[in-house]
Amino acid sequence: MSASRPIRPSPVAIDFDAGSVGEAAFSRQALLDAEGSVLGWKVGLFSGDRSALAAAARAVQGTSAAGVLVWWQASLDTLLDPQLEQFDARRTVLQFEPPARNDADVVAQCVSSLAACRRLGFRVAGSSDLPASGHPLSKQLDILVVDVSAADSPAAIQKAREPGLPLLVQQVHTEEQRRQAQALGARWFAGDWFMAAPVAQRTTIRPSHALLLELISMVKREAELAEIETVLRRDPLLALRLLRLINHCGYGLPVKITSFAHAVMLLGLRKLLRWCCMLMATDKGDVPPATGYTAVVRGRFMEVLAQHLLGEAEGDSACIAGMFSLLDAMTGLPFDRLLNNLALPQDVVAALCEQRGPLYPLLQLAVAIERDDRAGFTRARSELGLSDAQVARAHLEALAWTADVLARQQ
């Protein structure tokens, strides 16, 4: 097929050498509600002190969608840190760690500081063990945290319900654990179960997913425009969503895209492959919305770093690899069956199926960040030759970009 020479979108504008916010690399674990939507982010730190953690949490809050919470570990020093005044208190949960010293003066200072934070609108979370022990700090808690990885987690959840506070369960790795915790009264969930393929996999694919996979395959083999547009006519709403996505994410195109053919003329098919993949990730279905959200953040994060390390051309492949790394979780179908029919770029296949190639360390880095895996993070970052600050800036950019894109898809 022939088309006009495509416009080349501008590369991601991030100054990887600037000394600014986000010097410390941080982890980001999703906090989900009962419907599987992202309620907030639990922010951890791979390097740095409490002050660096506060700065990272504040940066995440500044790049997240309106209403999304930021949740982070706090100590007495945190409560006294002037940085706390810069947070949106209503969107902040402080998971408080009681000090090792348990003398009356220290406990009284903690109680006073927590009460002051709560008056400002901050919510305080703490271990479910505190109320059971009769600790004075338990009266300052708004949320109780239970670890379901413990052998007696059902009993622990039942016991944690007694004070009548909302429960967050963490270390949730399977859908069965999540369902059990919800049945016992848990309201919020933290873990990686929504990133795993369903145990009972589908035998058929949802119609919208089937059409998108067909479209992706056609774009990859550079099918004729007329053939592609015939497929799009089978689902006018999907075609409209695709055009809306391209117009929003088109890197400042000089004109509004009015048709798929128009998009091909201006952008070229390679760019359109990524938008089709993104539409696949954000397609509403019966999987937790957090699955697609995470896939888009992964894709953008990997794209930003790939453009910096490997050049702009590899950015698209990195974006596709990141988003499609959760394809089995999004569709409920085995990875091999899905990829065999797609003819994706070889570097994408190498990263997803063979755990090798230039994109694989980027994928490892993204996964380590999502799972708060310090060893995995250090290994992947070192292999890529990146600094903590460079990773943090790419991470923040990916969060901000994804929040903006998904807000416009509502």
pLDDT above 70: percentage of residues in the chain: 90
Q: Which pLDDT tens digit goes with each residue over 369-390?
A: 999 999 999 999 999 999 999 9
pLDDT higher than 70, residue 201: no
- Decide: 359 and 31 in contact? Cβ < 8 Å: no
Among residues 183, 133, 127, 131, the alpha carbon closest in space to that of 154 is found at 183
Cβ-Cβ contacts under 8 Å for 2 (sequence gap 6 or more): none
pLDDT higher than 70, residue 117: yes
**Dihedral of alpha carbons 237, 243, 249, 255, sign:** negative
Whether residue 223 sits in one domain with residue 367: yes
Name the β-bridge partners of 93. Answer: 71, 123
DSSP E strands in 105-178: the ranges are 123-127, 143-147, 167-172
Q: Which pLDDT tens digit goes with each residue over 219-276?
A: 888 888 888 888 888 888 888 888 888 887 655 667 788 887 888 887 777 777 888 8
* Last-in-domain residue among 134, 168, 194: 194
Which two tokens mark 263? Answer: 């998009």
pLDDT of amino acid 18: 45
pLDDT of amino acid 277: 85
The enclosing H or E element of 102 equals none
Q: Which pLDDT tens digit goes with each residue over 344-357?
A: 888 999 999 899 99
Rounded CA-CA distance 294/81 in Å is 31
Domain CATH code at residue 242:
1.10.3210.10
Cβ-Cβ contacts under 8 Å for 123 (sequence gap 6 or more): 92, 93, 94, 142, 143
Cβ-Cβ contacts under 8 Å for 378 (sequence gap 6 or more): 46
Whether residue 236 sits in one domain with residue 267: yes
User: Does the predicted model carry a pTM greater than 0.75?
Assistant: yes
- The total of other beta-carbon atoms located within 10 Å of residue 247's CB is 15
Whether residue 220 sits in one domain with residue 179: no
Whether residue 179 sits in one domain with residue 52: yes
pLDDT of amino acid 378: 97
pLDDT of amino acid 83: 85
Domain of 134, in residue numbers: 26-194
pLDDT of amino acid 360: 98
Any domain includes 387? yes
What average pLDDT does the chain have?
85
Better pLDDT: 161 or 46: 46
Whether residue 211 sits in one domain with residue 174: no
Q: How confident is the model at residue 294 (pLDDT cuts 50, 70, 90)?
A: very high
pLDDT higher than 70, residue 192: yes
Domain CATH code at residue 153:
3.20.20.450
Which two tokens mark 165? Answer: 């506070």
pLDDT higher than 60, residue 19: no
By CB neighbour count within 10 A (0-12 exposed, 13-18 middle, 19+ buried), where does 103 fall? exposed
pLDDT of amino acid 152: 66
